[in-house]
Amino acid sequence: MNTQDTIIALSTPQGSGAIGVIRLSGPDAISITNQVFAGKDLTQQISHTLHFGLIKDGDVIVDEVVAGLYVAPKSYTKENVVEISCHGSNYIIQQILNLLIKKGARAAKPGEFTLRAFLNGAFDLSQAEAVADLIASDSKASHDVAIQQMRGGFSNELKGLRDQLVHFASMIELELDFAEEDVEFANRDQLRTLILKINSVLQRLISSFEMGNVLKNGVPIVIAGKPNVGKSTLLNALLNEERAIVSEIAGTTRDTIEDELNINGIIFRFIDTAGIRDTADIIEAKGVERTLARMKQAKLIIYMVDALQTPDELQEQLTDLNKIDIPYLAVVNKADLFNDEQKNEFAQKEVLFLSAKENIGVEELKTALLAKVNLLSINTSETLVTNIRHLQALQNTENALANVLNNIDNPITSDFLAMDIKQALHYLGEITGVVTTDDLLENIFSKFCIGK
Ligand code: GDP
């Protein structure tokens, strides 16, 4: 991978804005900029300074700009970096980019700035990936998780354990050198203890994935119940806009829209809201299957009956619901149609009364949803795994360690033991980037935007 050249990209979003920031990184970032900059001699300035000047293409003034200098290694990429703040017109930005490319810079590939930061040791791979998550985060919860990971998160934890395992690996290699003498440098009991310790950390991280994913992408939630009880109306009330189509005719289909609701920083992602209309009849044989399949994707279900049904009917449906092991909130809609006696009958059950149409009880429902999520024991300050690549590496490590344990308990030769430990080290290293291949890096960084 070539890091000897100087790369350039627009770092702010495409389109006009008040300011556009063009970033250069590489050995010649400052000297290339200096060729078109009319103002102070940038090559003579100290790091972390701002300089006002003109960008000129020959005699033509392209823009008035401010150039920010970061001299290696004190920059994001640990290379020389210049950030040119120009006026945010597409035309100006294109002119400046073209001009600097003519002077020797190369258009950056997606994620290439962050790739360089990683290659130059600014952070490990999982932290680099957290940068992408941080930029993409759109709720408090996903932001918390990304920040945590960017600041070291579980890679610190894994690094310490990996170092200890490296120590054992070298001891066992040493044994191989003295194979004829039948010596044991690596204490097998200590090795077993270490592996059990690593395993317990792995298991915690692996099981955190489900929750990490929920926080990153939103809590998947389903509104279920018979046709016409008011599910679409509730969805509208929750989203506070006419996204779902409400119709008098049960079973009207509509396009699938992924609807999201942000309550106090937690995103709720409504699954298959189109299905609300087309398959909701839980007693119909086919309907049951399809509704169940839909509900099983959820972490939380809002189960709705309406005032036209009886408490016994509700009970029957809830009994069905209990068979799938997903937490739910039972709501009785159209409470505006109730008389007091009917309401009392339902009040025996643990239900929330709603009038979706009148927007009554919707705020209470939101509070109840949050309370349910807290019961799912989400703790955003904990170390959570949110990345499928990390999950796979953790699972691979776990399998490799199982082989190591097996080798300790049923020793054949140290060769096998050494091999399995190496395998485990390999997978652990993949997470933090101690072990990388060009393909892996390409795969990770190509998902970034250009300019990151
Ligand atoms: P879905 O099939 O479960 O999605 O039900 P809809 O949301 O399409 O509602 C079916 C009918 O019930 C529509 O005519 C709604 O206007 C009506 N409806 C929904 N919520 C309420 C409510 O709180 N009170 C009353 N009286 N009618 C409602």
CATH topology of domain 7-124: Gyrase A; domain 2 (3.30.1360)
> Which atom of ligand 1 approaches the CA of 236 most closely?
7
pLDDT digits (tens, 9 = 90+) for 181-209: 777 788 889 999 999 999 998 998 888 88
pLDDT at res. 261: 85
pLDDT at 247: 42
Which atom of ligand 1 is nearest the CA belonging to 337? 26
Of 438, 440, 447, the residue nearest 390 (C-alpha): 440
State in Å: Cα 238 to ligand 1 middle. Answer: 14
What is the domain partition of the chain in residue ranges? 7-124, 131-213+385-445, 219-375
What is the distance in A from the centroid of ligand 1 to the CA of 376? 30
Considering only CA atoms, which residue is closest to atom 9 of ligand 1? 230
**Residue 357: CB within 6 Å of ligand 1?**
yes
What pLDDT, in 10s, does the model give residues 31-76?
999 999 999 999 999 999 999 999 999 999 999 999 999 999 999 9
Sign of CA dihedral 86, 89, 95, 100: positive
Q: Which CATH number fits domain 131-213+385-445: 3.40.50.300, 3.40.190.120, 1.10.3660.10, 1.20.120.430?
A: 1.20.120.430
The token pair at 97 is: 């980019």
Q: Of 329, 323, 316, 271, give the one whose Cα is nearest residue 298.
A: 271
For ligand 1, the distance from its centroid to the CA atom of residue 361, given in whole angstroms, is: 15
Q: Is the CB of 248 under 6 A from ligand 1?
A: yes
Fold classified for 219-375? Rossmann fold (3.40.50)
Instruction: Give the pLDDT of residue 79.
Output: 97
* Residue-level pLDDT at 281: 44
Distance of CA 318 to the CA centre of its chain: 34
Please tell me if the domain spanning 131-213+385-445 has the same topology as the one spanning 219-375.
Answer: no
Global ipTM: 0.98
pLDDT < 50 positions in the chain: 242-257, 276-285
- Point out the ligand 1 atom lying closest to the alpha carbon of residue 246: 8
CA atoms within 13 A on the CB side of 29: 32
